[in-house]
Amino acid sequence: MTTMTDTALAEFKMPDVGEGLTEAEILKWYVAVGDTVTDGQVVCEVETAKAAVELPIPFNGVVRELRFPEGTTVDVGQVIIAVDVSGGTGAPAAPVQETTPEPAPEAEPKAPEGRQPVLVGYGVAESSTKRRARKAAPGETPVAAAEPEPQPEAQHDRPLNGHTGTRPLAKPPVRKLAKDLGVDLATVTPSGPDGIITREDVHAAVEAAAPAAAPAPQQAEAPAPQVTEAPAPAVPAPAAAGSTDARETRIPVKGVRKATAQAMVGSAFTAPHVTEFVTIDVTRTMKLVEELKQDKAFEGLRVNPLLLISKALLVAIKRNPDVNAAWDEANQEIVQKHYVNLGIAAATARGLIVPNIKDAHAKTLPELAEALGELVGTARAGKTSPGAMQGGTVTITNVGVFGVDTGTPILNPGESAILAVGAIKLQPWVHKGKVKPRQVTTLALSFDHRLVDGELGSKVLADVAAVLEQPKRLMTWA
């Protein structure tokens, strides 16, 4: 990852941040020529075909060269930054090129004792859990300034959201979520009993810090359509992304969008897709959602229809395990999976991503709610790691929040099935012999016909529908 030259310059190369990916685009430099950097300090953000990733530098020194400007796509193994590690005064050298960006806000002043994992969402240094201060516009007061203390939750001597006190009150899972999202709990307004900070409070803090986005329709709080614009900086392409003709705009296809396009084409023309549909009455499921929101076991957790839809699919897979499989073309084998990594399709500013919940089949309902909440928050913050998007077995996509009744979803590559959930809305329905307004939705299940025949696919979809019509089956079938 690094090389040394005769002039005491350490060269930091573009690492393989995505398990085999060959290139990444430099989205943002956080340092400039002449800046002092420390081991573990994040120096830039790059975008691979899977996610945005922050790169920490592995040594101490003074930046002498930034080899590429923002917006440049760099091959893995190319030198991107050179640092003088001889221990000099750190006087700025002349910029290598005019396109070198201005320095970002000051990085954390103390170097950690050891380097941490590179991937975004996992953290890179003990002092990096606080969101980096945004550069203030002329005449504007900075949002937050870098502070010398490395522990974001250890500031006991200042008011907390207008209240005097010591350490903010929050449960361990909430603290972990705040740490992953870079939220200082001391700046979060608590809404829980006795001043306890909940997950919703943390998510609200993230949304308040992010650019204003149009609110999602009031339906299932699913992560797929509700993932808002990530707070990460927009991709600054070196070539003009706009059109020379006012009637057209040309946008380069790269990063996540390029990878998604290639994957969807490959999936559509490799796996023989079959899609089946069913329209169901989910009134009882919607009532159960409201009841669970009041249950103490779900205090501080995100409870919505997607939670019960996810559980219904997991129950259906347990009853029909052959659906959870993959096709091995090279060995001409069907690989049956004895675990479920449940993918949730998420639309982000960078394109469609499908992070998954590892071993979702083994989670209790509160644990599943916690995992879904973390997945949503991480995706909204633009910090989903490449590892979180690998190894999925089945996926759920919620098109209902767009007001769409249903669709024919394309399989995530390597997976056996994908369930699309349509809008849940009041419709006339025959209930107990009378036409009444009921909460109705349409489900669509696409599956790989090499792995799943019509009978098996129909059973899975029918089981999902049966659980959502009569959610007591979550107990009798589980």
Give the model's pLDDT for residue 11: 93
Q: What are phi and psi of 282, to 5 degrees?
A: -110, 25
Superfamily of domain 257-476: Chloramphenicol acetyltransferase-like domain (3.30.559.10)
Q: For the residues 460-474, what does the mean pLDDT come to?
A: 97
Give the SS3 label for residue 203.
helix
Q: Considering the entire predicted model, what is its pTM?
A: 0.57
Q: For the residues 297-302, what does the mean pLDDT come to?
A: 92
Q: Per-residue pLDDT tens for 250-279?
A: 777 776 667 777 777 777 777 889 999 999
Predicted confidence band of residue 309 (pLDDT cuts 50, 70, 90): very high
Give the model's pLDDT for residue 138: 47
Q: Per-residue pLDDT tens for 2-44?
A: 555 546 889 999 887 655 567 888 888 999 999 999 988 989 9
Q: For the residues 426-453, what does the mean pLDDT come to?
A: 96
Residue 316 near residue 334 (C-beta atoms within 8 A)? no
Q: Give the start-to-end residue ranges of the domains of the chain.
A: 1-120, 257-476
- Between 347 and 232, name the one with better pLDDT: 347
The third-level CATH classification (topology) of the domain covering 1-120 is OB fold (Dihydrolipoamide Acetyltransferase, E2P) (2.40.50)
Which of 197, 202, 125, 131 is CA-nearest to residue 167? Answer: 197
Residue 257 near residue 264 (C-beta atoms within 8 A)? no
Helix (H) or strand (E) holding 36, with range, is strand 36-37
- Between 306 and 181, name the one with better pLDDT: 306
Q: Flag the least confident range among 36-45, 187-196, 416-425, 464-473.
A: 187-196
Say yes or no to pLDDT of 451 above 80: yes
As a whole-number percent, the residues of the chain with pLDDT over 90 amount to 42
Q: Per-residue pLDDT tens for 158-193?
A: 344 434 445 678 776 677 677 777 788 888 888 887
Catalytic site residues? 449
